[in-house]
Amino acid sequence: MKVPSDEREQLTWGEPPNDDVSFATLVDVLADSQRHRLLAMLTDTGGTVSVDELTTRLVEHAQTNRSSTAASSAVGNSKQRLRIRLQHVHLPKLADCNLIKYDANAQTVTPTVSPTAEVMLTDLLASAK
């Protein structure tokens, strides 16, 4: 994560990827089922999405797939609790790996996956389905 130079930058995580993320880093980041689902949703969408929409989509996914680990975790938490976890844990971790740009002020998330990382992600996400 870059060191913020002013207050506006302080609440924005993630930089456009100049170095590809390693396979080991992707595996580590995607070991968490909610981050895995979150990144799959973002790569499917391909554009900027609000944190509210991501929270809603994760809860809906959990309700339709109750047998999965991500579903149990999301359903077990309230929507508000899930949103807080996204804002303070999952989104910053994905941004630190340059997989997304997270703007905490605007409450938006944009995928920033490099072409090389996208190939690895596609393989990882497909093998987990």
Tokens of 40: 């799959």
More confident residue, 18 or 81: 81
Query: Which residue in 52, 34, 54 sits closest to 44, CA to CA?
Result: 54
- Indicate if the pLDDT at residue 115 is higher than 80: no
Please state which of the ranges 8-12, 26-30, 40-44, 53-57 shows the lowest mean pLDDT: 8-12
CA–CA dist 4, 35 (Å, integer):
25
Strand partners, 49: 109
Which CATH fold would you assign to the domain 21-128? Arc Repressor Mutant, subunit A (1.10.10)
Q: What is the pLDDT of residues 47-83, one digit of tens each?
A: 899 999 999 998 888 777 765 555 455 455 578 899 9
Report how far apart, in Å, the C-alpha atoms of 39 and of each of 29, 63, 67, 117 are.
Answer: 10, 18, 20, 12
Q: Write down the pLDDT at residue 69.
A: 56
Q: For residue 64, give every residue at least 6 positions away whose Cβ sits within 8 Å of its Cβ, in sequence order, or none.
A: 71
7: confidence class by pLDDT, cuts 50, 70, 90: very low
Structure pTM?
0.69
Please, what is the average pLDDT of the chain? 76
Q: What angle do CA 117, 61, 23 make, to 5 degrees?
A: 15
